[in-house]
Amino acid sequence: MKKEGLGIETKIVHGSRGENQVTGAISFPIYQSATFRHPGVDQSTGFDYSRENNPTRQEVEKAIATLENGTAGFAFSSGMAAISTTLELFYPGDHIIVSDDLYGGTYRLFEQVSKKNGIKISYIDTSNIEELQTCINEKTKGIYIETPSNPMMKVTDIKKISALKQQQSILVIVDNTFLSPYYQRPLELGADIVLHSGTKYLGGHNDTLAGFVVVKDEKLIEPIQLLQKTIGAILSPFDSWLILRGMKTLGIRLKKQQENAMEIAKWLTEKEEIEKVNYVGLEDHKGYEISINQASGFGGMLSFAVKNVETVNKLLKNVKIISYAESLGGVESLITYPIKQTHTAIPKEMREKIGVNDKLLRLSVGIEDVDDLINDLEQAMKEE
370-382 and 309-318 helices, crossing angle to 10°: 120
Answer yes or no: 317 catalytic: no
Residue of 270, 249, 342 whose CA lies nearest to 301: 342
Could you tell me which residues come within 8 angstroms of residue 207 by beta carbon, excluding any fewer than 6 positions away? 242
Cα end-to-end span (Å), the chain: 57
Handedness of CA 223, 227, 233, 238 (dihedral sign): positive
Long-range residue pairs from 287-292, CB within 8 A, at least 24 positions apart, any chain = 287/127, 287/148, 287/153, 287/154, 287/155, 287/156, 288/155, 290/127, 290/155, 290/156, 290/157, 291/148, 291/155
Is-contact 337 323, C-beta < 8 A?
no
State the catalytic residue, choosing from 51, 108, 120, 229: 51
Answer yes or no: 185 catalytic: no
Is-contact 211 195, C-beta < 8 A?
yes
State the catalytic residue, choosing from 141, 154, 200, 362: 200
**Per-position DSSP letters for 91-150, written without gaps between them:** -TT-EEEEESS--HHHHHHIIIIITTTT-EEEEE-TT-HHHHHHH--TTEEEEEEESS-T
d(CA 272, CA 104): 30
Peptide bond preceding 148: is omega within 30 degrees of 0, i.e. cis?
yes
Gyration radius (Cα) of the chain, Å: 21
State the catalytic residue, choosing from 94, 157, 175, 192: 175
Answer yes or no: 200 catalytic: yes
State the catalytic residue, choosing from 57, 94, 103, 337: 103
Peptide bond preceding 347: is omega within 30 degrees of 0, i.e. cis?
no
The one-character DSSP state at 322 is: S
CA distances from residue 334 to 162, 325, 341, 346, 373 in whole angstroms, order as listed:
33, 6, 13, 22, 11
Answer yes or no: 51 catalytic: yes
Would you name the residues annotated as active-site residues? Answer: 51, 103, 175, 200
